[in-house]
Amino acid sequence: MLFQGFYVGIDDYSLQQLDRWPWSREIHTQLFHQLAEGQPKAVFFDFLLIEPVAVLAEQAMLGHILVRPDVYGVLRQVDLSVSDAMGRPWALATRLLVDDTALAKVNRLRIPFNVPKDDYPTISYAGVVSGEVPFFS
């Protein structure tokens, strides 16, 4: 499967324009609202949201972090879901590229972590959140 997309980067401009790091969930929500306007097939969000949220304290066990390095110790893929001992899936993405039968079959997507920086366009996180990036406004 060919990876087609772009990176939304945390650049100096974003750090100057947005609140202190780590950013609040509200700022990330603004990003998702802007991205949703472009109707993407998938969004990979690679952040650890470790700041506690009182309302969600009772649901703290809903997520997981899992990476499986290959025999060389390199991360080349990510599991889209993990099953418990009874075989019930813990979905990370309930509807990720549904039409891709190969993805559904193996339940994995190879992520090109080692691509040269210039191979995919990078746009500013703050630019997307504020609507400054033309195709997200």
Burial of 126 (0-12, 13-18, 19+ CB in 10 A): buried
The residue that leads in pLDDT, 98 or 70, is 70
Closest CA to 97 of 45, 22, 41: 41
Give the pLDDT confidence of 10-68 residue by residue, as tens digits: 999 999 999 888 898 899 999 999 988 888 877 878 887 877 777 777 666 555 566 77
- Domain limits, the chain: 7-136
Q: What is the pLDDT of residue 90?
A: 53
Q: What is the pLDDT of residues 2-22, one digit of tens each?
A: 446 788 889 999 999 998 888
Position 132 confidence tier, pLDDT thresholds 50, 70, 90: confident
